[in-house]
């Protein structure tokens, strides 16, 4: 099947799912509860990193986490006391535990004392003229674990192309931050990375639907698979290939596409 043959179908599915009604039942609803840019960045990053398992559970766990910060994460991260960190020792979502939580807080506090926006952490590593954000993800991983005595166990929660991971969650986070349209789902609050450079989040549902449509041919699911999918989606829309994430994810999780 020539990819252009499925474009009208996918475009229709993008329109169906890329609208405010999508927000309520998705982890992107968490950053939509905030208005300040730093609060959006922090909650979006955390929601994306915790995004495995049932979406309802993910959302509930994020609410539990940010309630510990009085629902003011940026202010809490910059101004908390050591005593105020104790409740986070018991936070847990699947394999993400208190050790990981405390290091996330530690990194954010260090980073926001030196930078205004988390965007800078990704732009720093983006190679000039790069087709994708691969170099940016590699740089961010090194930066995130550049602080002394980082817990080795936390590395498994931040994916990197250097380890051949598909980087589903961090690609989803970047879609939220970078993509801009008038539909009100993605934020588009970062301006230094182009939507054309984004890589499609390749989770179980997207992978299954994309394979059924011939958009993925690799047997395994890894970073090269994500690049293959994105390249094929770019043939449908070179400026905004990851908008089709809405279509593929919607078909997979909402319509149980086989």
Average pLDDT over residues 17-45: 97
Between CA 180 and CA 223 the distance in angstroms is 24
pTM summary value: 0.96
pLDDT at 246 exceeding the cut of 80: yes
pLDDT at 256 exceeding the cut of 90: no
How much is the pLDDT for 1?
A: 52
How much is the pLDDT for 258?
A: 58
Residue 208, classed as helix, strand or coil, is helix
Average pLDDT over residues 42-50: 98
Between CA 87 and CA 70 the distance in angstroms is 12
How much is the pLDDT for 234?
A: 97
Average pLDDT over residues 34-45: 98
Do 27 and 50 meet the contact criterion of CB atoms below 8 Å apart?
yes
pLDDT tens across 165-214, in order? Answer: 999 999 999 999 999 999 999 999 999 999 999 999 999 999 999 999 99
How much is the pLDDT for 18?
A: 97
Between CA 249 and CA 257 the distance in angstroms is 10
* Residue for token pair 């590593």: 125
Please give the C-alpha separations between residue 102 and each of 18, 41, 44, 106, 235, in angstroms, as whole numbers: 34, 17, 17, 6, 42
- How sure is the predictor about 4, in pLDDT bands with cuts at 50, 70 and 90? confident
How much is the pLDDT for 12?
A: 97
pLDDT tens across 76-125, in order? Answer: 999 999 999 999 999 999 999 999 999 999 999 999 999 999 999 999 99
DSSP states of 82-133 as a string? SGGGGGGGG--BTTB-HHHHHHHHHHHHHHHTT-S-THHHHHTTPPTT-SSS
Q: 93 — phi, psi (to 5°)?
A: -140, 110
Reading the block at residue 215, the tokens are 């958009």
Q: Which residue has the higher pLDDT, 128 or 27?
A: 27
Between CA 209 and CA 142 the distance in angstroms is 32
**194 CB contacts (<8 Å, ≥6 apart)?**
178
């Amino acid at each position: 099947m020539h990819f252009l043959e499925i474009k009208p179908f996918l475009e229709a599915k993008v329109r169906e799912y890329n609208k405010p009604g999508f927000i309520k039942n998705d982890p992107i609803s968490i950053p939509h509860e905030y208005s300040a840019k730093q609060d959006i960045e922090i909650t979006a990053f955390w929601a994306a990193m915790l995004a495995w398992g049932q979406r309802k559970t993910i959302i509930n766990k994020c609410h539990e986490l940010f309630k510990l910060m009085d629902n003011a994460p940026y202010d809490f991260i910059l101004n908390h006391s050591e005593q105020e960190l104790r409740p986070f020792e018991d936070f847990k979502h699947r394999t993400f535990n208190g050790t990981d939580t405390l290091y996330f807080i530690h990194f954010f506090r260090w980073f926001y004392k030196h930078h205004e926006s988390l965007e800078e952490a990704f732009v720093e590593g983006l190679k000039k003229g790069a087709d994708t954000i691969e170099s940016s993800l590699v740089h961010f991983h090194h930066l995130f674990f550049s602080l002394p005595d980082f817990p080795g166990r936390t590395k498994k929660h931040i994916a990197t192309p250097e380890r051949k991971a598909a980087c589903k969650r961090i690609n989803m986070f970047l879609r939220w931050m970078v993509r801009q349209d008038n539909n009100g789902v993605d934020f588009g609050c970062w301006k230094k990375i182009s939507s054309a450079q984004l890589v499609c989040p390749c989770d179980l549902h997207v992978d299954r639907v994309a394979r059924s449509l011939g958009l993925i041919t690799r047997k395994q699911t890894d970073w090269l698979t994500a690049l293959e999918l994105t390249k094929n989606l770019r043939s449908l829309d070179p400026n905004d290939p990851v908008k089709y994430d809405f279509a593929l994810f919607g078909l997979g999780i909402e319509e149980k596409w086989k």
